[in-house]
Chains A and B, each alone.
Chain A
């Protein structure tokens, strides 16, 4: 159970500063918390509420709406196998059966060694490459039982560490707006003039 670390609070403030209202940073900060701890802790929720000016209940309400946020530890690798139409037509269900056998767990659970969590996923936007899966949101296309087994072996052996970070990290590259280049976010109530490049004046209705 932990609040955001000092370094992450700095990142959090940078993220918040990009939005006209701090509340908009809620989802990015929840990702940050999940990156820090592998899942979203209650302390992190409380901390995010303080940072964006919301109650813990409001942050919880937002967090639980979105499937990517986990509220208890999951495996190092979250394996999501798609089961929506195109993947189902091309053998997604059979792939899930194979995965359950290979990992020895049912969908929705984690291997005893804490390495793998297996989940059903809905459409992953790679329908032409069915059946698909994602490991910590990194794609694998046209997966067969053989390529699935090889993937699991590689992950377990740490051979994919450079490509696939542990659960919690989605993008490894963050946007950074250099101070001298950024325009800066302005609360909407303080930005009621037309932008400078809009030369034609509009009469308010």
Chain B
């Protein structure tokens, strides 16, 4: 055998990297990064060090002692917790020396001493770090013959999470997460020593929006989530990586199912986006996908109401309605609303159908609660840029309620002193306690608040310190977008270098708008479409996953629009208040039932996994559009979802790089380029006389409301708080009523009755009502045409 081997030794080029630290790990030289903890450096070098309390998205506490390894810093080998010490030049680390192994075996034995070893009935069994590391790094048997600790088990620490204190190994992960990451220090260690346990305060449950993460990071089966308990064994689960579309942050998830049934979503650590975290709404929304209320067949309206029908007849009916509409009122008498809840492919196919096949310019992906689409044409920030900017300006809704994981990222920036937050808000938000400055404005006056604030020398000095990112969205649904738009334009005029991160909430609203679900030349926006429909000018209104009656702030307008449209075609997963009024309803495939891509607020395009079989005969939205186009005489050329993805890359400005191959190769998705949009016209904000007797209304969303996905997820539905009108405690007396009593809330347009509540996050002179909650039809009071809404509150 002959081998030719080059004997040339390349002249080692001496490159001094200031961030390189040379260490020896298990006898091998390794170049670590400066500041890396030993445990991380060892893992990068291929030497896994067992651990429980260490989590690389949280600070190290050195609590479990499992990661003890022998480290020689020149003074002889010593056992050191590798999660606490950064690498130092010349360090010699032995992860498998006899002393290291003896320490690890000892810790495992001690951790198991009081652990119940009930693996056969434990949900974590099969994916349990304690179980796994007992096998890989444990002594194999225990010498502990004493009585184990006993606690009542399990106890509910919240509506969603249960705690089994016997299984707990007191690693401080959940408690640290609650305090450090979520900012909800509602679970704590209590008692001391051998009787230390995790507990909540009586009557103050761990009602964090992020509680599910503690279940995921628990290294034993101590914390379990109600929706998943006893549903499956980990080895029976199949999983596919996907992206959560509950909101538009775009958190990466692992979608897990067993026997074709969705059972769990787990957070996947995407460095630019979610760092492994999910909000509970996203995590547990899988219940809605498998709801018994899902639509299974197309429906057509008959004299007896909706009746099931075949796809062929439903398609024929829909085509007839569209062609009749075009014949009666021209193409522009057809309007399409929606697309923000589906994939890029769904939106693109519908945009093609609307603009190119039907020929209508009246298309909108928003529902009167967004911003002019031109916001997407501004200098776009990424989440990473926002959370590392010197200054973050919030002109946005309460991010904790609407874009929860973005809240986590910005909170992290503030508490770690990377960024200072300047917040403009009509009422206190989840980020107010972390904001450097909060400027409360009365709805409608935000542009003035911005100008006055920017004029302060202290603010100017802060803004001059470095990058500025503006997070922009609608903080108040009881006013038109004019006030916010004017304020945003004022900000960007004063800070031309500042980047903008749009805080629009629906899962794929940015993708839908980007790929074409927006008005064409001379077309109407969503409020325009609804007004036209109400005026009887829309022959056929198509709702693509849109529920205007629930989602449009002005309920009266939505109702009149749906009554005024001659025909309504709906594509939806459920019968909603809006699809109930449709003449044809197509059953749509839901999340995890279809493949495709989605776009988050930054413009990051990631893949969606098709994990389970569709419910009934439902189809992805894009397929419905393609088939209707075909029947209307145009072949869009979409045979499968990949065709649509490719067509987007070929046709959409900014999506040139977003190809199937690129998505396959990029772990964190592909950032689409920013397309050019028409500049936003400066709106005029016309405020009527302010009657000081009235309260100016603020309406905003809570994380849990009556939205269709939440309402059909039993675990989440009960978390919706219900409606009430909240005023500042000092304003209660003004109303002449008591907290908890029913009061009349009225505008000249309508009157509703709500229970009165006090909340010091509400500013004096304003009243806050959460949107879309049971028992609070606040939409009745909102006028889409008015710049602001003033209400009168009176005792009954």
Q: Please report A residues at the B interface, Cβ cutoff 8 Å.
A: 42, 45-46, 54-58, 60-61, 64-65
6 further interface pairs, Cβ-Cβ under 8 Å (given A55-B184, A56-B204, A61-B188)? A42-B201, A42-B202, A46-B201, A56-B201, A57-B185, A57-B188
Is B623 among interface residues, defined by CB-CB distance under 8 A?
A: no
Q: How far is the CA of A65 from the CA of B191 in the complex (A)?
A: 5
Q: How far is the CA of A42 from the CA of B201 in the complex (A)?
A: 9
Is B189 among interface residues, defined by CB-CB distance under 8 A?
A: yes
Residues on B with beta carbons closer than 8 Å to the beta carbon of A42: 201-202
Report B170-210 residues with CB < 8 Å from chain A CB.
179, 184-192, 199-202, 204
Residues on A with beta carbons closer than 8 Å to the beta carbon of B184: 55
A57 touches B200 (CB 8 A): yes
Residues on A with beta carbons closer than 8 Å to the beta carbon of B179: 58
CB distance from B648 to the nearest CB of A (A): 47
Q: Is the interface of A mostly helix, strand, loop or mixed?
A: helix
A55 touches B186 (CB 8 A): yes
CB distance from B172 to the nearest CB of A (A): 11
CB distance from B199 to the nearest CB of A (A): 7
Q: How far is the CA of A158 from the CA of B438 in the complex (A)?
A: 58
Closest chain B residue, CB of each to CB of A64: B190
B204 touches A55 (CB 8 A): yes
A54 touches B199 (CB 8 A): no
| Subset of 14 A-B contacts with CB under 8 Å | A55-B186, A57-B187, A57-B188, A57-B199, A57-B200, A57-B201, A57-B204, A58-B179, A58-B185, A60-B190, A61-B188, A64-B191, A65-B190, A65-B192
CB distance from A119 to the nearest CB of B (A): 16
Report B414-429 residues with CB < 8 Å from chain A CB.
none
Residues on A with beta carbons closer than 8 Å to the beta carbon of B202: 42
* Candidates A45, A46, A60; contact of B199 at CB < 8 Å: A60
Q: Please report B residues at the A interface, Cβ cutoff 8 Å.
A: 179, 184-192, 199-202, 204
A60 touches B188 (CB 8 A): yes
Q: How far is the CA of A58 from the CA of B191 in the complex (A)?
A: 12
Residues on B with beta carbons closer than 8 Å to the beta carbon of A64: 190-192
Q: How far is the CA of A56 from the CA of B186 in the complex (A)?
A: 8
Q: How far is the CA of A58 from the CA of B192 in the complex (A)?
A: 14
Closest chain B residue, CB of each to CB of A58: B185
Q: How far is the CA of A201 from the CA of B702 in the complex (A)?
A: 54
Closest chain A residue, CB of each to CB of B184: A55
CB distance from B206 to the nearest CB of A (A): 8
Closest chain A residue, CB of each to CB of B187: A57
CB distance from B182 to the nearest CB of A (A): 12
Q: How far is the CA of A45 from the CA of B201 in the complex (A)?
A: 9
Q: How far is the CA of A42 from the CA of B185 in the complex (A)?
A: 17
CB distance from A95 to the nearest CB of B (A): 25
Residues on A with beta carbons closer than 8 Å to the beta carbon of B200: 57
* Most chain A beta-carbon neighbours within 10 Å: one of B179, B185, B186: B185
A60 touches B201 (CB 8 A): yes
Take A42-B202, A45-B201 as given contacts and tell me if A57 and B186 are in contact as well, using a CB distance cutoff of 8 Å. yes
CB distance from A81 to the nearest CB of B (A): 21
Residues on A with beta carbons closer than 8 Å to the beta carbon of B189: 61, 65
CB distance from B48 to the nearest CB of A (A): 33
B191 touches A54 (CB 8 A): no
Q: How far is the CA of A57 from the CA of B200 in the complex (A)?
A: 6
B190 touches A61 (CB 8 A): yes
Q: How far is the CA of A65 from the CA of B189 in the complex (A)?
A: 9
Residues on A with beta carbons closer than 8 Å to the beta carbon of B191: 64-65
CB distance from B519 to the nearest CB of A (A): 48
Q: How far is the CA of A65 from the CA of B204 in the complex (A)?
A: 19
- CB-CB nearest 6 A-B residue pairs: A61-B188, A56-B201, A64-B190, A57-B188, A57-B201, A55-B185
Q: How far is the CA of A46 from the CA of B202 in the complex (A)?
A: 10
Residues on B with beta carbons closer than 8 Å to the beta carbon of A58: 179, 185, 188
Q: How far is the CA of A136 from the CA of B179 in the complex (A)?
A: 36
Closest chain B residue, CB of each to CB of A189: B417
Q: How far is the CA of A65 from the CA of B190 in the complex (A)?
A: 6
Residues on B with beta carbons closer than 8 Å to the beta carbon of A55: 184-186, 188, 201, 204
* Most chain B beta-carbon neighbours within 10 Å: one of A42, A46, A55, A58: A55
Residues on A with beta carbons closer than 8 Å to the beta carbon of B199: 57, 60-61
Take A65-B191, A65-B192 as given contacts and tell me if A54 and B185 are in contact as well, using a CB distance cutoff of 8 Å. yes
Q: How far is the CA of A54 from the CA of B201 in the complex (A)?
A: 12
Residues on A with beta carbons closer than 8 Å to the beta carbon of B186: 55, 57
CB distance from A196 to the nearest CB of B (A): 27
Residues on B with beta carbons closer than 8 Å to the beta carbon of A54: 185
CB distance from B156 to the nearest CB of A (A): 15
Q: How far is the CA of A55 from the CA of B205 in the complex (A)?
A: 11
CB distance from B200 to the nearest CB of A (A): 6
CB distance from B412 to the nearest CB of A (A): 19
Q: How far is the CA of A45 from the CA of B185 in the complex (A)?
A: 15
Residues on B with beta carbons closer than 8 Å to the beta carbon of A56: 201, 204
CB distance from B155 to the nearest CB of A (A): 14
Q: How far is the CA of A64 from the CA of B189 in the complex (A)?
A: 9
Q: How far is the CA of A54 from the CA of B179 in the complex (A)?
A: 11
Closest chain B residue, CB of each to CB of A59: B201
Residues on A with beta carbons closer than 8 Å to the beta carbon of B187: 57
Q: How far is the CA of A124 from the CA of B534 in the complex (A)?
A: 83
Residues on B with beta carbons closer than 8 Å to the beta carbon of A45: 201
Residues on B with beta carbons closer than 8 Å to the beta carbon of A60: 188, 190, 199, 201
CB distance from B288 to the nearest CB of A (A): 31
Q: How far is the CA of A64 from the CA of B190 in the complex (A)?
A: 6
CB distance from A57 to the nearest CB of B (A): 4
Closest chain A residue, CB of each to CB of B433: A53
CB distance from B207 to the nearest CB of A (A): 12
CB distance from A63 to the nearest CB of B (A): 8
CB distance from A156 to the nearest CB of B (A): 33
Closest chain B residue, CB of each to CB of A49: B201
Closest chain B residue, CB of each to CB of A46: B201
Residues on B with beta carbons closer than 8 Å to the beta carbon of A65: 189-192
Residues on A with beta carbons closer than 8 Å to the beta carbon of B190: 60-61, 64-65
Residues on A with beta carbons closer than 8 Å to the beta carbon of B204: 55-57
Residues on A with beta carbons closer than 8 Å to the beta carbon of B188: 55, 57-58, 60-61
Q: How far is the CA of A54 from the CA of B184 in the complex (A)?
A: 10
Q: How far is the CA of A46 from the CA of B186 in the complex (A)?
A: 12
Q: How far is the CA of A41 from the CA of B138 in the complex (A)?
A: 44
Q: How far is the CA of A6 from the CA of B185 in the complex (A)?
A: 28
CB distance from B120 to the nearest CB of A (A): 33
Residues on A with beta carbons closer than 8 Å to the beta carbon of B185: 54-55, 57-58
Q: How far is the CA of A56 from the CA of B202 in the complex (A)?
A: 9
* Most chain B beta-carbon neighbours within 10 Å: one of A42, A45, A58, A61: A61
CB distance from A45 to the nearest CB of B (A): 7
CB distance from B261 to the nearest CB of A (A): 36
Closest chain B residue, CB of each to CB of A56: B201
CB distance from B625 to the nearest CB of A (A): 50
Q: How far is the CA of A61 from the CA of B204 in the complex (A)?
A: 14
* Most chain A beta-carbon neighbours within 10 Å: one of B188, B190, B204: B188
Q: How far is the CA of A54 from the CA of B202 in the complex (A)?
A: 15
Closest chain A residue, CB of each to CB of B200: A57
Q: How far is the CA of A58 from the CA of B189 in the complex (A)?
A: 8
Q: How far is the CA of A54 from the CA of B190 in the complex (A)?
A: 15
CB distance from A19 to the nearest CB of B (A): 19
Q: How far is the CA of A61 from the CA of B202 in the complex (A)?
A: 12
CB distance from B67 to the nearest CB of A (A): 25
CB distance from A108 to the nearest CB of B (A): 14
CB distance from A130 to the nearest CB of B (A): 25
CB distance from B204 to the nearest CB of A (A): 5
Q: How far is the CA of A65 from the CA of B713 in the complex (A)?
A: 39
Q: How far is the CA of A46 from the CA of B201 in the complex (A)?
A: 9
Q: How far is the CA of A55 from the CA of B207 in the complex (A)?
A: 13
Q: How far is the CA of A60 from the CA of B202 in the complex (A)?
A: 10
Closest chain B residue, CB of each to CB of A65: B192
CB distance from B161 to the nearest CB of A (A): 14
CB distance from B145 to the nearest CB of A (A): 26
Q: How far is the CA of A130 from the CA of B763 in the complex (A)?
A: 63
Q: How far is the CA of A56 from the CA of B185 in the complex (A)?
A: 9
Q: How far is the CA of A3 from the CA of B191 in the complex (A)?
A: 22
CB distance from B211 to the nearest CB of A (A): 13
